[in-house]
Structure 1
Amino acid sequence: MPDPFLLLIAAVFAFAGFVKGVIGLGLPTVSIGLLAVAMPPAQALAIVIVPAIITNIWQTFAGSYLRDILRRLWPLMLGTVIGIRLGSGLMTGPYARYGTLVLGVLLVVYGIFGLSRARFQVSPAYEKWLGGPVGLVTGIVSAATGVQVIPSMPFMQAIGLEKDELVQALGVFFTTATLALAFNLTDAGLLSVATALPGAIALVAAFAGMFAGQAVRTRMHPDLFRRWFLVSIIGLGGYLAAETLVRLFG
């Protein structure tokens, strides 16, 4: 892999880690979205997978809500794993050429939803019944794009998790989903020695960005940062979708 490409990976993951340090999420979403400008989503995910797993494991145990999270979210996580396995060929099979288009549309939807501040409420009596189907859809979308935020993120907000509990829940959920994606990549032969150096650079850069983001979080207004982050995500998604449409049908 040429040196400029490694520098691109370091810059992307430093920024994605910074975003995660400030708002508690966004590393896979940002890094896959930015890397998809220069490579297919499957190749981007192969680089993202190790940093995402390690940083999410760290986030999983950075809190005291783990038992309650597992009790409430196991249907969501189980459905997501099943969906990822069912969609194992979407990122590398005959539909792989549409992956960047789907990713772009997904980023636009994610950004618009975040900016809208729309909030739903799910009664505790229904959260386990809804968790499985929401997870299944999330898993299939994730298998095609590598991104796990739609519709899982709105669902976790809708069941009334407190702020700190939500941050830890995201770590637990993303760890589970990313491990399932790792099996898909292994089956497709995309995790190999060739991804070791880019993955190591990505991991170091992501942690450096996370520590920087955590350091400035107290001095930065998180809502303002989050707003501009979501606007940027919409712009990136729109570019990816438009560029793919031109390449496919232009």
Structure 2
Amino acid sequence: MWPISDTDTLFWSLLILTFFVAGLVKGVTGMGLPTVAMGVLGAIMPPVAAAALLVVPSFVTNVWQLVTGPDVRSLMRRLWPMMLGIVAGTLLSASLLTRGDTHLTTAALGFALLAYALYTLFAKQICVPPRLELWLSPLSGMTTGVITGGTGVFVIPAVPYLQALGLSRDDLIQALGLSFTVSTIALAAGLALHGAFNVGNLWQSALLVVPALMGMVAGTWLRQRISPALFRKGFLVCLALLGAELASRAFR
């Protein structure tokens, strides 16, 4: 057996804690695992490395969220143009994350986190009329894909767009699971396309499924005992501060 250094122990302890907290946030709010994981890990390692670790935990937790919803078929029929846009945008922009310019990608990640946090905190709820979905869905998907490929974060503008469709609570949770699942698969494909996703190292990402699922279970339990709105606000404030710190690196 190979000896494990103190540095390795600290590194894996941080990974496990990060994915547990990310799962906790997802369990309480229904979203946030990739956002938290990329935000924390992007501050200590290249974003492309953080994105590779994210793939399996994100896929497993999002598929779980997707299949437990009420009617995935009708959602897929309604949202397929958006999903197609996500795939296309992610594959087209994945080179931004893999080109090795960590200064730029870290700053871009910061701006994405900051924009998401501020929008969610302060923006008023909008409503998308059904007649506009035909062109807004692929546009929203493509924009989400471009941001995903460049930063590893796939919440903007997918989350506010899906919230604006007037879906029921259960349908919204399932639609988010669908969007995040497709984004995760597209991100893995984009990283692999540019040689940044080594299937041989998939076990490292797979190991992090356990703390992520434990966090989700704990978050679901916690959601029944605290105010989700209060937790969400605190989470978004912390996310905004983290995003601002990462974004500030563009000016250093």
Q: Please report the TM-score for the alignment, with normalisation by the length of structure 1.
A: 0.94
2:34 corresponds to:
28
Q: Among 3, 10, 18, which residue is 2:9 paired with?
A: 3
C-alpha change, 1:201 and 1:65, in structure 2 (3 Å) is same
Q: Is 1:145 aligned with 2:124? A: no
2:3 corresponds to:
none
Aligned length: 246
RMSD of aligned Cα (Å): 1.5
Counterpart code for 1:188: H
Q: What is the deviation of 1:243?
A: 3.3
Q: Is 1:66 aligned with 2:72? A: yes
Counterpart code for 2:155: V
Q: Please report the TM-score for the alignment, with normalisation by the length of structure 2.
A: 0.93
Counterpart code for 1:65: D
Q: Among 226, 230, 237, which residue is 2:243 paired with?
A: 237
Q: Among 205, 211, 214, which residue is 1:208 paired with?
A: 214
Q: What is the deviation of 1:114?
A: 0.9
Q: What is the deviation of 1:192?
A: 2.4
Whether contact under 8 Å (1:9, 1:198) holds in the other structure is: no
Whether contact under 8 Å (1:9, 1:202) holds in the other structure is: yes
* Residues 83-103 of structure 1, C-alpha deviations (whole Å, 9 max, x = no match): 011112111126553111011
Counterpart code for 1:29: T
For residues 57 and 9 of structure 2, the distance between their equivalents in structure 1, rounded to whole angstroms, comes to 20
Q: What is the deviation of 1:194?
A: 6.3
For residues 230 and 220 of structure 1, the distance between their equivalents in structure 2, rounded to whole angstroms, comes to 16
Counterpart code for 2:229: D
For residues 232 and 208 of structure 1, the distance between their equivalents in structure 2, rounded to whole angstroms, comes to 22
2:85 corresponds to:
79
For residues 64 and 249 of structure 2, the distance between their equivalents in structure 1, rounded to whole angstroms, comes to 36
Q: What is the deviation of 1:245?
A: 2.9
What does residue range 53-202 of structure 1 map to in structure 2 within 5 Å? Answer: 53-93=59-99, 96-192=102-198, 195-202=201-208
Counterpart code for 2:65: Q
* Residues 69-115 of structure 1, C-alpha deviations (whole Å, 9 max, x = no match): 11221111111111011112111126553111011011111111111
Q: Is 1:46 aligned with 2:70? A: no
Runs of at least 5 residues in structure 1 that lack an aligned partner in the other structure = none
Q: What is the deviation of 1:224?
A: 0.3
Q: Among 209, 217, 225, which residue is 2:223 paired with?
A: 217
Counterpart code for 2:169: K
Answer with 167-176 or 199-208: which moved more. Answer: 199-208
Whether contact under 8 Å (1:73, 1:128) holds in the other structure is: no
C-alpha change, 1:193 and 1:174, in structure 2 (3 Å) is closer
1:18 corresponds to:
24
In percent, how many aligned pairs have the same letter? 42
C-alpha change, 1:202 and 1:86, in structure 2 (3 Å) is same
Counterpart code for 1:223: A
For residues 186 and 218 of structure 1, the distance between their equivalents in structure 2, rounded to whole angstroms, comes to 40
Q: What is the deviation of 1:185?
A: 1.4
Whether contact under 8 Å (1:90, 1:96) holds in the other structure is: no
Q: What is the deviation of 1:198?
A: 3.1
C-alpha change, 1:82 and 1:96, in structure 2 (3 Å) is farther
